[in-house]
Chains A and B, each alone.
Chain A
Amino acid sequence: MSGTNSAERPASSGRAAAGTTDTPAESAVTGKAAARPLRKAAGAGTRTTSGGTPLRPDRLSRHNLSGWLYSTPFLAFFVTFMAVPILATLVMSFTDFGLRNVTNPFDAEFVGLENYSELLGDEQFLRALFNTGYFVVLGVPLTIGCGLLAAVLLNSGIERFRTFFRVGFYAPVVTAIVAVAVVWRFVLDPSEGLIAGLAAQVGLTAPDFLASESLAMPSLIAMAVWRNLGTSMVLFLAGLQAIPTEVREAAKLDGAGAFQEFRRITVPLLRPTMLYVTVMTTIGFLNVFEEPFVMTNGGPSDSTLTVSLLMYREGFNFFNMGYASSMAYTLFVIILAVTLLQMRLLKDKTK
C-alpha cells in the first residue's frame, strides 16, 4: 500500500489492514457492501449476464462467473482426492469394517450408530478425549503466546542476527521427529538427563518425567509447544507485515509505550492472523499424535493416550476400521464445534 495513501486516510487504511474476516456464519455481502457505498464502475450497467437480466450495480452478481472460475482448479483436485475418501470413511464408520473387509469391502455389515454408542461407553476413548483436551487447553495458548512473543520481538526493529534468530526458532519445526525424540529423552532422563543434571547442581532430584502419570503429559505439552512455536511465529511475522509502518510511527509519536502499542495496534490489527493461527494450532493439537507416539506410546497407564493415537492403534494395528472411523468423525465433530466457537469469539470487532 502506498505511503501517501495511508497518510491521507489513516483511519480507513487501518481498517483495511485489520481486514474483514467474515465467518461462514455471517453474510459475506452485507458486511462489506454496506460498509462503504460503491462507486459505480464505468460501463458496468450496460453489460448483461448470460441470463439476460440487466446487471444490478452491486457486486453480488458481478462475480459469480469469476468466483467460480477462480474456485474450479482447486475444487477439481480437492473433490477427487479429498472429498471422496472423506465420504468413504464416513460410510465406513457406520459399518463393522474390519480386517476381513479389506479384501471384501462389500461384506461389511451396516451397524448404524453402534460404533458411536460403543465409543461413548469406551473408557479408554473417554480417557483419550480427556487427555487430548488437557493437551489442547494448555498447549494451544502457550504455543500461540510464545510464537507471538517471538514474532513481536523479531519484528521490533532489531537488525543484527535477525535471520539467525528466525532460523533458530524455526529449527524445531523442521527437525525430524526421530531426532527430536532422542534429544527430549535425553532432556527428561531421570538419571543422566539435562534437567536431572541441573537439579543435581542445586541439590534436588529430578522426577522420572515420562514414567510419572501426572508429569508425562505436561512434559509432552512442553515438547509440543517447543516444536510448534516456530510455525505460529512464521505466521505472525507474515501477519505483522499487514500493519502499515505509518500506523506504528504515529502511535509512537503519540507517546505510546511498547506495551500500549502492542495492545492498541498490534493485537487488533493481527486479528485475521490470530484467528488463523488459533484455529490451525487447535486443529493440530486436537489431532496430536507424534509426540505421544514417539515418547510414551500412550503410557504410563494411558495417561498420554490421545484420540489420534488410539485411532491409529484401532485402525492400523488392530484393523477395526469401522470403529476407528467413528472415532475420527467424533473427533471431527469436536474440532468443528471448537473451530466455530473460535471463529465467533475472534471475529473482527472493529467494524
Chain B
Amino acid sequence: MSRIALSRAAIATTAVALSLGLTACSSGDGDQLGADAKQTLTVWAMGEEGKRVAEIAKKFNETHPDITVKVTPVGWDVAHQKLVSAAAADQLPDLAQLGSTWMGEFMDLGVLEPVDTKAFKADDFFPAAWKGSERDGQVYGVPWYVDTRVLYYRTDLAEKAGVAKAPETWTDQLALAEAFKKLDSTKWAFSHPAGGQGSWQNWAPYLFSAGGTILDKDGKPALDSPEAVTAFTEYAKYFDKGLAKDTPAAPGYDVIKDFGAGSVPMFPSGPWMVQNIADQAPQIEGKWAAVPLPAGKQPASIIGGSNLVTFESSEHKAAAKEFTKFLTSPATQADWYEMSKSLPANKKAWDEPALKNADVAVFEEALNSAGEIPPLAQWEQVAHEIDVTLEKLAKGGDPAALAEELQKKTEGLVS
C-alpha cells in the first residue's frame, strides 16, 4: 500500500477544507476557571440518567453554589454519533457520561483529559471498571456506575425438572438446561444468542471464566488462544444439543415474556432485569432466582457500565473534577442507586444502607471477579466480528477453525 501524503496546500483547496476547516483542538489550559468561580458546567448524560443528573446536581449546589450544572440528556442509541460529531466540530461539553466500551475510541480521538489519580484512587473502585479506562499508565475516565451479567433461572421449573441446587459450574448449567429441555412447557432451555448484535457480551464471560483475555500481554488480540477455543466449544454445546435457538433472535426480542411463560426458563443478563421481571411478569414472583454465572476454570463475569470523562477542550476542568468527585462519592452513589437502580462503581458505596438492604449481593460477587473489555479504538469492529463468529458457531462451525479465522480478522483491526 503506497500512500501519498497529501500536502496541506492541496487539501486546503478542496471542499473538505471548506467544510472541515477546523481549528486544531484547543489546548484548553488558556482560560481555566477555578472551581469557586461563577460558571456553568455543561454535562451530557444518557437518556433518563440525564434527567436524574440534573436532579442530583441540586444537592451538589448546596456545597458549590457558583457552579450551574447544565445537563443535556442524549439517547443511548444515538449518543455515540452525537459525541463524535461534537468532537469533529470542537463542540464537546465539559463533562460527559461515556459507555465503558467507547473509552478506547475517545482516547484515540485525543479529546479526553487524563484523570488526576491523586484525587481518584484505583482502590476505591472495582478493578475491572478502573482497568477499562487505563492506557499506557494514564487513566481517562472515572467509573460512575457498573453493570455485570448474572444467570436468571426459574427455580420452580428447575425443581419440577428434578434439579434442586443452583448451578455453579459449566457442567451444572448444561445439566440444568438438559433437564429443562425435558419439560413440556420448554421451547428453548437456554436463551443463548446465536450471534446478532451484542451477543459477544454473552460469550465474553466464558472466555474470562476459562482464564482467557481479549488481548494478550503485547496488546494483540488473543482470540484463538486455547482458552478462547475452550470458550467457543462450551458455547457451541447448547446449539449442538438443541438447548438454544441456533438462529439470532430478532432485534428487540425481549426474553421476559418467554421467561414468564416458562418457555425459556434460563437466561444470562444484567441487574436491570430484576426490576423488569417484577414489572412485566409479576405472576412468577418468588419462582425465579439470579445467581452468579456458573464458572469454568474460575468464576468470571463481564463488567460494563459508564464512566465520567472530562474533555480536554473544557475551560471548567476544576469544576468538572469537583462534580465528578461528588458523583463518585459513596453517599451520592448510594442515592444514585436508589434513584436509578444503577450499581455503584465505588466499592465503599456498597456498605451504605441503601445497598446493604437491597438484594444485590449476587452482583457484588460477580463484579469482584469480572473481566473487562480493554479500551480499544476498534472495539466496535472487534465486537462485531465476535458476533459474526458466534453466528457461524451456531450453524455448526468448528470452534478451533472459527477462532483462528476471528484472530486473523481482528489482528488487522487492532493496531
Contact = CB atoms under 8 A, between A and B. Distances in A.
Interface of A: 84-85, 87-88, 90-92, 95-96, 99-100, 102-106, 108-112, 114, 181-182, 185, 191, 208, 210-212, 294-297, 299-301, 313, 316-319
B119 interface: no
Contact of A103 (B5, B10, B109): B109
B4 A110 contact: yes
A312 B323 CA distance: 35
B212 interface: no
Given A110-B4, A301-B391, A316 B16 contact: no
Contact of A88 (B1, B18, B380): B18
10 contacts: A87-B15, A104-B25, A108-B11, A110-B4, A110-B11, A208-B247, A296-B251, A299-B195, A301-B392, A318-B378
A114 B251 CA distance: 34
Given A296-B250, A297-B196, A313-B384, A88 B16 contact: yes
Given A103-B110, A110-B5, A318 B380 contact: yes
Residues of A contacting B: mostly: helix
B248 A106 contact: no
Contacts of A318: 378, 380-381, 384
A316 B84 CA distance: 9
Nearest to B1: A114
B341 interface: no
A105 B20 contact: yes
Give the one of B1, B251, B378, B381 with max A CB within 10 A.
Answer: B251
Contacts of B11: 106, 108, 110
Interface string B1-35: 10111101011001110111010110000000000
B251 A84 contact: no
Give the 4 A-B CB pairs with smallest separation, nearest first: A211-B247, A87-B15, A110-B6, A105-B20
Contact of B384 (A109, A185, A191, A317): A317
Interface string B82-115: 0010011010000000000000010011110000
A297 B88 contact: no
Contacts of B251: 181, 294-297
B199 to A, nearest CB: 11
B252 interface: yes
B79 to A, nearest CB: 12
Interface string B373-400: 0000110110010000001100100000
A349 B105 CA distance: 57
Contacts of A114: 1
A125 to B, nearest CB: 15
B187 interface: yes
Interface string B347-391: 000000000000000000000000000000110110010000001
Contacts of B3: 96, 109-111
Contacts of A106: 8, 11
Contacts of A90: 15
A84 B196 CA distance: 37
A91 B13 CA distance: 11
B24 A104 contact: yes
Given A85-B19, A99-B109, 16 more contacts: A84-B15, A102-B109, A103-B87, A103-B109, A109-B6, A110-B5, A111-B3, A111-B4, A181-B251, A211-B245, A297-B197, A299-B391, A300-B391, A301-B391, A316-B84, A317-B80
Contacts of B18: 84, 88
B63 interface: no
Contacts, number: 111
Nearest to B106: A99
Nearest to B20: A105
Contacts of B16: 88, 91-92, 105
Interface-central residue, A103, A111, A185, A316, by most chain B CB under 10 Å: A103
Contact of B20 (A88, A300, A316): A88
Contacts of A112: 4
Contacts of A208: 247
B275 interface: no
Given A96-B3, A109-B6, A296-B251, A102 B87 contact: yes
A317 B380 contact: yes
A307 B196 CA distance: 18
Query: Chain A CB within 10 Å — which of B4, B10, B247, B378 has the most?
Result: B247
Most chain A C-beta atoms within 10 Å of own C-beta, residue among B19, B24, B90, B384: B19
Nearest to A90: B15
A204 B19 CA distance: 59
Contacts of A104: 24-25
A92 B81 CA distance: 18
Contacts of A313: 384
Contact of B80 (A108, A210, A301, A316): A316
B197 A99 contact: no
A87 B13 CA distance: 12
A234 B109 CA distance: 47
Contacts of A108: 6, 11
B63 to A, nearest CB: 35
B250 A182 contact: no
A264 to B, nearest CB: 47
A104 B90 CA distance: 11
A181 B380 contact: no
Contact of B250 (A91, A100, A103, A210): A210
Contacts of A294: 251-252
A90 B16 CA distance: 9
B5 A299 contact: no
Given A87-B15, A99-B105, A112-B4, A182 B252 contact: yes
Contact of A99 (B5, B195, B252, B377): B377
A326 B372 CA distance: 35
Contacts of B22: 103, 105
Contacts of B111: 103
Nearest to B11: A106
A6 to B, nearest CB: 50
A301 B11 CA distance: 40
Nearest to A100: B108
A223 to B, nearest CB: 13
Contact of B81 (A100, A103, A181, A316): A316
B19 A102 contact: no
A211 B108 CA distance: 37
Contact of A319 (B1, B20, B84, B252): B84
Given A96-B3, A191-B187, A88 B252 contact: no
Contacts of A103: 22, 25, 87-88, 90, 109-111
